Amino acid sequence: MTMRRPLIAGNWKMHKTAEETERFIKELLPKLENVEDIDVLIIPPYTSLDRAGRLLQGKSLQLGAQDVHYETEGAFTGAISTHMLKACGCSYVLVGHSERRELFGDDDTIVARKLNVALDSDLKAILCVGETLSEHDLVEEKITRQLTQDLTGIDAMTLTKITIAYEPIWAIGTGKTATPEVAQETISMIRRWIASHYDEAAAQGMRILYGGSVKPANAKSLLAQPDIDGALVGGAALVAESFAQIVDAARLQ
Protein backbone atom coordinates (compact mmCIF):
# COMPACT_ATOMS: atom_id res chain seq x y z
CA MET A 1 0.00 0.00 0.00
CA THR A 2 1.61 3.17 -1.14
CA MET A 3 1.59 6.34 0.92
CA ARG A 4 1.72 8.46 -2.19
CA ARG A 5 -1.42 10.41 -2.99
CA PRO A 6 -2.47 9.83 -6.59
CA LEU A 7 -2.78 12.76 -8.98
CA ILE A 8 -4.88 12.86 -12.13
CA ALA A 9 -4.02 15.96 -14.14
CA GLY A 10 -5.64 17.13 -17.37
CA ASN A 11 -3.34 19.11 -19.66
CA TRP A 12 -5.60 20.91 -22.10
CA LYS A 13 -2.79 22.27 -24.29
CA MET A 14 -4.12 24.87 -26.77
CA HIS A 15 -7.80 24.01 -26.33
CA LYS A 16 -10.86 25.78 -24.90
CA THR A 17 -11.83 29.42 -24.49
CA ALA A 18 -12.73 30.83 -21.08
CA GLU A 19 -16.39 30.20 -21.89
CA GLU A 20 -15.72 26.56 -22.79
CA THR A 21 -13.61 26.20 -19.66
CA GLU A 22 -16.53 27.37 -17.53
CA ARG A 23 -18.85 24.85 -19.16
CA PHE A 24 -16.33 22.04 -18.60
CA ILE A 25 -15.84 22.90 -14.93
CA LYS A 26 -19.58 23.06 -14.29
CA GLU A 27 -19.97 19.65 -15.87
CA LEU A 28 -17.00 18.10 -14.07
CA LEU A 29 -17.51 19.33 -10.50
CA PRO A 30 -20.63 17.24 -9.73
CA LYS A 31 -18.82 14.14 -11.04
CA LEU A 32 -16.05 14.66 -8.47
CA GLU A 33 -18.30 15.05 -5.45
CA ASN A 34 -17.30 11.81 -3.77
CA VAL A 35 -13.66 11.87 -4.75
CA GLU A 36 -11.35 11.72 -1.77
CA ASP A 37 -7.71 10.80 -1.35
CA ILE A 38 -6.86 11.79 -4.93
CA ASP A 39 -5.61 15.11 -6.23
CA VAL A 40 -7.44 16.17 -9.37
CA LEU A 41 -6.03 19.00 -11.44
CA ILE A 42 -6.97 20.79 -14.64
CA ILE A 43 -4.36 22.68 -16.65
CA PRO A 44 -6.14 25.02 -19.08
CA PRO A 45 -4.46 27.63 -21.29
CA TYR A 46 -3.47 30.95 -19.70
CA THR A 47 -6.52 32.78 -21.04
CA SER A 48 -8.84 30.48 -19.07
CA LEU A 49 -7.01 30.56 -15.75
CA ASP A 50 -8.64 33.58 -14.19
CA ARG A 51 -12.17 32.37 -14.94
CA ALA A 52 -11.30 28.84 -13.81
CA GLY A 53 -9.73 30.13 -10.60
CA ARG A 54 -12.88 32.02 -9.67
CA LEU A 55 -15.08 28.98 -10.31
CA LEU A 56 -12.80 26.71 -8.31
CA GLN A 57 -12.53 28.84 -5.18
CA GLY A 58 -13.19 26.59 -2.20
CA LYS A 59 -13.37 23.47 -4.40
CA SER A 60 -11.07 20.48 -4.22
CA LEU A 61 -10.47 20.48 -8.00
CA GLN A 62 -7.09 22.18 -8.40
CA LEU A 63 -5.76 24.51 -11.06
CA GLY A 64 -2.43 24.52 -12.87
CA ALA A 65 -0.69 26.32 -15.73
CA GLN A 66 1.04 24.75 -18.72
CA ASP A 67 4.24 26.78 -18.45
CA VAL A 68 5.79 29.79 -16.72
CA HIS A 69 8.61 32.21 -17.40
CA TYR A 70 11.84 31.84 -15.43
CA GLU A 71 12.05 35.52 -14.46
CA THR A 72 9.59 36.96 -12.00
CA GLU A 73 8.91 40.28 -13.73
CA GLY A 74 10.18 42.56 -16.47
CA ALA A 75 10.53 43.13 -20.21
CA PHE A 76 9.60 39.64 -21.45
CA THR A 77 6.94 40.13 -24.09
CA GLY A 78 4.48 37.28 -24.20
CA ALA A 79 5.66 35.70 -20.97
CA ILE A 80 3.70 34.93 -17.79
CA SER A 81 5.13 34.98 -14.26
CA THR A 82 4.58 32.76 -11.25
CA HIS A 83 2.99 35.69 -9.43
CA MET A 84 0.38 36.06 -12.20
CA LEU A 85 -0.40 32.34 -12.08
CA LYS A 86 -0.85 32.39 -8.33
CA ALA A 87 -3.12 35.43 -8.58
CA CYS A 88 -5.36 33.37 -10.90
CA GLY A 89 -5.59 30.61 -8.29
CA CYS A 90 -3.02 28.19 -9.70
CA SER A 91 -1.31 25.88 -7.27
CA TYR A 92 0.56 23.83 -9.90
CA VAL A 93 2.61 24.46 -13.01
CA LEU A 94 3.88 22.08 -15.69
CA VAL A 95 7.57 22.42 -16.43
CA GLY A 96 9.42 20.87 -19.33
CA HIS A 97 6.48 19.37 -21.19
CA SER A 98 7.87 17.70 -24.30
CA GLU A 99 5.97 20.12 -26.54
CA ARG A 100 7.73 23.03 -24.81
CA ARG A 101 11.05 21.23 -25.15
CA GLU A 102 10.60 20.11 -28.76
CA LEU A 103 8.60 23.00 -30.27
CA PHE A 104 9.57 26.02 -28.18
CA GLY A 105 13.22 25.36 -27.43
CA ASP A 106 13.01 24.81 -23.68
CA ASP A 107 16.33 23.08 -23.06
CA ASP A 108 17.34 21.58 -19.73
CA THR A 109 18.93 24.83 -18.55
CA ILE A 110 15.66 26.68 -19.13
CA VAL A 111 13.64 23.86 -17.57
CA ALA A 112 15.85 23.98 -14.45
CA ARG A 113 15.36 27.75 -14.17
CA LYS A 114 11.59 27.43 -14.58
CA LEU A 115 11.48 24.68 -11.99
CA ASN A 116 13.44 26.81 -9.54
CA VAL A 117 11.30 29.91 -10.00
CA ALA A 118 8.11 27.86 -9.62
CA LEU A 119 9.26 26.26 -6.39
CA ASP A 120 10.65 29.53 -5.02
CA SER A 121 7.18 31.01 -5.57
CA ASP A 122 5.53 28.14 -3.73
CA LEU A 123 3.91 26.60 -6.76
CA LYS A 124 3.99 22.83 -7.01
CA ALA A 125 5.69 21.68 -10.18
CA ILE A 126 5.07 18.76 -12.49
CA LEU A 127 8.37 18.06 -14.20
CA CYS A 128 7.90 16.17 -17.48
CA VAL A 129 10.59 13.88 -18.83
CA GLY A 130 10.56 11.37 -21.67
CA GLU A 131 12.22 10.06 -24.78
CA THR A 132 11.41 10.23 -28.49
CA LEU A 133 10.87 7.08 -30.51
CA SER A 134 14.44 7.14 -31.86
CA GLU A 135 15.77 7.53 -28.31
CA HIS A 136 13.67 4.67 -26.97
CA ASP A 137 16.59 2.24 -26.81
CA LEU A 138 18.49 4.82 -24.78
CA VAL A 139 15.61 5.73 -22.51
CA GLU A 140 17.62 5.45 -19.32
CA GLU A 141 20.41 7.74 -20.58
CA LYS A 142 17.95 10.34 -21.85
CA ILE A 143 15.89 10.46 -18.68
CA THR A 144 18.90 10.35 -16.41
CA ARG A 145 20.35 13.32 -18.28
CA GLN A 146 17.10 15.25 -18.00
CA LEU A 147 16.75 14.54 -14.27
CA THR A 148 20.38 15.39 -13.55
CA GLN A 149 20.19 18.72 -15.36
CA ASP A 150 16.63 19.73 -14.49
CA LEU A 151 16.98 18.99 -10.77
CA THR A 152 20.30 20.84 -10.38
CA GLY A 153 20.30 22.65 -7.05
CA ILE A 154 17.04 21.10 -5.81
CA ASP A 155 17.47 19.75 -2.28
CA ALA A 156 15.52 16.86 -0.75
CA MET A 157 13.13 19.21 1.05
CA THR A 158 12.25 21.12 -2.13
CA LEU A 159 11.94 17.87 -4.05
CA THR A 160 8.77 17.09 -2.08
CA LYS A 161 7.02 19.89 -4.02
CA ILE A 162 7.75 18.20 -7.34
CA THR A 163 5.75 15.54 -9.14
CA ILE A 164 7.54 13.86 -12.03
CA ALA A 165 5.62 12.87 -15.16
CA TYR A 166 7.13 10.25 -17.42
CA GLU A 167 5.79 10.89 -20.89
CA PRO A 168 7.30 8.92 -23.76
CA ILE A 169 7.06 11.38 -26.65
CA TRP A 170 6.10 8.61 -29.06
CA ALA A 171 2.98 7.97 -26.97
CA ILE A 172 1.73 11.56 -26.77
CA GLY A 173 -1.35 12.24 -28.87
CA THR A 174 -0.58 9.20 -31.03
CA GLY A 175 -2.96 6.67 -29.48
CA LYS A 176 0.12 4.51 -28.79
CA THR A 177 0.24 4.03 -25.04
CA ALA A 178 3.27 2.53 -23.40
CA THR A 179 2.25 -0.86 -22.07
CA PRO A 180 1.72 -0.82 -18.32
CA GLU A 181 4.87 -2.97 -17.98
CA VAL A 182 7.05 -0.60 -20.03
CA ALA A 183 5.69 2.44 -18.19
CA GLN A 184 6.25 0.70 -14.84
CA GLU A 185 9.81 -0.26 -15.76
CA THR A 186 10.82 3.29 -16.72
CA ILE A 187 9.06 4.84 -13.76
CA SER A 188 10.72 2.46 -11.32
CA MET A 189 14.04 3.40 -12.95
CA ILE A 190 13.22 7.06 -12.20
CA ARG A 191 12.46 6.14 -8.60
CA ARG A 192 15.78 4.31 -8.30
CA TRP A 193 17.54 7.39 -9.68
CA ILE A 194 15.89 9.51 -6.97
CA ALA A 195 17.00 6.99 -4.34
CA SER A 196 20.60 7.11 -5.49
CA HIS A 197 20.77 10.91 -5.88
CA TYR A 198 18.76 11.75 -2.77
CA ASP A 199 17.76 8.88 -0.50
CA GLU A 200 15.28 6.05 -0.16
CA ALA A 201 12.74 8.20 1.72
CA ALA A 202 12.79 10.79 -1.08
CA ALA A 203 12.32 8.02 -3.64
CA GLN A 204 9.42 6.45 -1.79
CA GLY A 205 7.76 9.83 -1.33
CA MET A 206 8.20 10.95 -4.94
CA ARG A 207 4.97 11.00 -6.89
CA ILE A 208 5.54 9.85 -10.47
CA LEU A 209 2.86 9.98 -13.16
CA TYR A 210 2.58 8.33 -16.53
CA GLY A 211 1.41 10.36 -19.53
CA GLY A 212 0.84 9.57 -23.19
CA SER A 213 -2.52 8.52 -24.65
CA VAL A 214 -4.08 7.72 -21.27
CA LYS A 215 -7.78 6.99 -21.80
CA PRO A 216 -10.62 5.55 -19.70
CA ALA A 217 -9.99 2.17 -21.34
CA ASN A 218 -6.31 1.87 -20.38
CA ALA A 219 -6.15 3.99 -17.21
CA LYS A 220 -6.92 1.19 -14.78
CA SER A 221 -4.14 -1.14 -15.92
CA LEU A 222 -1.59 1.69 -15.97
CA LEU A 223 -2.61 2.97 -12.54
CA ALA A 224 -2.48 -0.55 -11.11
CA GLN A 225 1.30 -0.60 -11.55
CA PRO A 226 3.08 -0.23 -8.21
CA ASP A 227 5.22 2.78 -9.18
CA ILE A 228 2.64 4.69 -11.24
CA ASP A 229 1.03 7.28 -8.97
CA GLY A 230 -1.32 8.93 -11.41
CA ALA A 231 -1.70 10.22 -14.94
CA LEU A 232 -1.03 13.32 -16.98
CA VAL A 233 -3.82 13.25 -19.55
CA GLY A 234 -4.06 15.29 -22.76
CA GLY A 235 -6.75 14.45 -25.29
CA ALA A 236 -8.99 12.45 -22.96
CA ALA A 237 -8.97 15.31 -20.44
CA LEU A 238 -10.87 17.62 -22.79
CA VAL A 239 -14.18 15.85 -22.23
CA ALA A 240 -15.50 16.01 -18.66
CA GLU A 241 -17.00 12.53 -18.82
CA SER A 242 -13.85 10.74 -19.97
CA PHE A 243 -11.66 12.73 -17.57
CA ALA A 244 -14.00 11.77 -14.70
CA GLN A 245 -13.74 8.12 -15.76
CA ILE A 246 -9.96 8.30 -15.50
CA VAL A 247 -10.31 9.83 -12.01
CA ASP A 248 -12.60 6.91 -11.16
CA ALA A 249 -10.00 4.44 -12.37
CA ALA A 250 -7.55 5.94 -9.85
CA ARG A 251 -10.12 5.64 -7.06
CA LEU A 252 -10.59 1.95 -7.66
CA GLN A 253 -6.92 1.13 -7.04
Residues recognised as catalytic: 97, 167
Q: Which is nearer to ligand PGA, 8 or 203 (CB)?
A: 8
Q: Which is nearer to ligand PGA, 147 or 236 (CB)?
A: 236
Q: Which is nearer to ligand PGA, 189 or 238 (CB)?
A: 238
- Least separation in angstroms between residue 145's CB and ligand PGA is 20
Exactly one of 213, 218, 225, 242 binds ligand PGA (CB under 6 A); that residue is: 213
- Ranges within 144-173 binding ligand PGA (CB under 6 A): 167, 172-173
- Least separation in angstroms between residue 102's CB and ligand PGA is 11
Q: Is 43 left (phi over 0), alpha (psi -120 to 50) or beta?
A: beta
What residue is closest to ligand PGA based on CB? 234
Q: Considering only 16-24, 148-156, 185-193, 208-216, which stretch makes contact with ligand PGA by CB under 6 A?
A: 208-216
Exactly one of 168, 212, 216, 230 binds ligand PGA (CB under 6 A); that residue is: 212
Supply angle C-alpha 155, 160, 162, rounded to 5. Answer: 95
Counting contacts by CB under 6 A, is residue 211 touching ligand PGA?
yes
CA torsion angle for 75, 80, 85, 88 (degrees, to 10)?
90
Counting contacts by CB under 6 A, is residue 66 touching ligand PGA?
no
Q: Which is nearer to ligand PGA, 96 or 203 (CB)?
A: 96
Cα–Cα distance, 91 to 213 (Å, whole number): 25
The one-letter amino acid code at 179 reads T
Total residues in contact with ligand PGA, by rule CB under 6 A: 13
Counting contacts by CB under 6 A, is residue 112 touching ligand PGA?
no
Exactly one of 6, 7, 8, 11 binds ligand PGA (CB under 6 A); that residue is: 11
Determine contact, residues 91/118, Cβ cutoff 8 Å: no
- Least separation in angstroms between residue 199's CB and ligand PGA is 29
- Ranges within 229-248 binding ligand PGA (CB under 6 A): 232-236
* Cα separation values, 37 from 40, 61, 64, 182, Å: 10, 12, 19, 26
Positions that interact with ligand PGA (CB under 6 A)? 11, 167, 172-173, 211-214, 232-236
